[in-house]
Amino acid sequence: MKLLSAYIIRRVLLSFVVSTLAVGSLLWLLQMLDRLEDGLSGAMGILIVAMQSMLAVPEALIDLLPVITILATAAAMSGFQARNELTIMRAAGVSIWKITGVVLIPGFAVALLALGALQWVIPNVQQGPERLIGQSLGESGLWHPWHGLWVRQGDEFLNVQSLRLGRIPTEVDIYQFSSDGDLLRHISAGEALVESDGRWRLEQALVRDYSQTDRNYATRQDALIWDSFLSARQLELLLRPPASLPLSDLWRYVQGLKQRNQEVAEFEMVLWRRLALPLSCLGMVLAAMATAAVPLKSRAVSVRLVAAMALGLGFQMLAEVASYMGLVMAWPVPAVALTPPLLLAALAWWLLAKAR
């Protein structure tokens, strides 16, 4: 049984590699076509677009991992069926449940590798040269590892020492000068929350108004709204999207938003859908095994693969629709993220039990 298990796992992993390369190539081509619409500037522009498209592929592959899982498993099982190997296994006394247990091992391992990539690999890929902020803010911006980010707009200067969890500006200082070069006002805050309209909500802000001649030139406010002068591009570079954060940082970020009574559903949905990846992949493996348990002629292998792809894409669409409905209806996020894979696993388990 050990030799048989090793053979099955090896064939399934090989199918994973082929399916990942095929889907990844398609995603890379689609990313290229999307970026080519913005125009190019010579051969170097094509090379840059190709590299940017390549960096976007890993995250997209992880988002489509359930589809890749059912495609890879169905392809491997179809190969066993076409070579009559699955029939020989079952005739030798190996039940479909034992085969399913073996096939679940590579599926679960790939899902765990995907979670590891989301924690350690994807954030580093997303934080490429443009994500380092400094070189992408233009002549009005400067980033230094000791002094943080400096950005200027007219007579106003912004200094951000660091970004906590990759998206929360901390140790914020704003300096406003007159046209003669005199310092008019200095605002300092421990951290800032960036609102959806681009304005910054400065927490525990200390405002020093040097135009005041009395002793009350310094005032402290629990919250101060500042109309940021950062452009949409600069703000996009400053704040990394939640999907690019490590899972541990995203968890802490969600908990921090809950403590402040801030809107958290969108970020929490991203987190729980990522955490539900192993469960989704296990459900896809069970679904593929349920179809493999039904004997088909070798000429119907392509039909099995098409059915597997349709099931995978259908599940992906169901998960997306459930996520949007959950956000609109304010349903509990963990329940919305976990219900589709649980339903898929239960349905596949029932079909597998019925087909054996």
Domain at 206, CATH number: 2.60.450
Please state whether 214 falls in left (phi above 0), alpha (psi between -120 and 50) or beta. beta
What amino acid occupies position 176?
Q
* Residue 342: per-residue pLDDT: 95
**Would you say 288 and 12 are in contact if contact means Cβ atoms under 8 Å apart?**
no
CA atoms of 140 and 156, how far apart (whole Å): 11
Residue 235 placed within a domain: yes
Predicted local distance difference test score (pLDDT) of residue 136: 46
| Percentage of residues in the chain having pLDDT higher than 90 | 47
Cβ contact 335:349 at 8 Å: no
* Same-domain check for residues 40 and 121: yes
CA distances (Å), origin 70, targets 20, 117, 289: 11, 20, 9
Whether residues 99 and 18 share a domain: the answer is: yes
Q: Is residue 248 part of a domain?
A: no
Report the alpha-carbon distance of residue 196 to residue 215 in Å, rounded: 36
Cα dist. 63→146, 174, 244 in Å? Answer: 36, 39, 12
CA distance 343 to 79: 28
Secondary structure class of 318 (helix, strand, coil): helix
Looking at every residue in the chain, the average pLDDT score rounds to 85
> Three-state SS for 304?
helix
Measured CA to CA, the distance from residue 118 to residue 126 in angstroms comes to: 11
Over residues 106-147, the pLDDT tens digits come to 999 999 999 999 999 988 776 653 444 444 444 455 655 566
Q: Please indicate, yes or no, if residue 247 is contained in any of the structural domains.
A: no
Q: Which residues contact 133 (CB under 8 A, 6 or more apart)?
A: 141, 143, 149, 237, 238
The pLDDT tens digits of the residues spanning 245-287 come to 789 888 987 887 787 777 788 889 999 999 999 999 999 999 9
- 118, 138: one domain: no
Structure confidence at residue 185 (pLDDT): 93
Total of domains in the chain: 2
- For residue 249, being part of any structural domain is answered with no
38, 98: one domain: yes
* Predicted pLDDT at 295: 63
Helix 333-355 vs helix 277-292: crossing angle, to nearest 10: 20
What is the mean predicted confidence (pLDDT) over 11-40? 91
Decide which of 204, 239, 274 is a domain's last residue: 239
pLDDT of residue 145: 52
| Domain extent at residue 232 | 132-239
- Which of 32-41, 290-299, 310-319, 340-349 is predicted least confidently? 290-299
Q: Which helix (H) or strand (E) holds 341?
A: helix 333-355
Residues 6+ apart with CB under 8 A from 356: 95, 96, 97, 293
The three-state secondary structure class of 5 is helix
Q: HSE (CB half, 13 Å, CA atoms) of 33?
A: 6
Instruction: Answer whether residue 259 is part of any domain.
Output: no
- b (16+ CB within 10 A) / e for 257-292: beeeeeebbebbbbbbbbbbbbbbbbbbbbbbbbbb
Confidence of residue 233 (pLDDT cuts 50, 70, 90): low
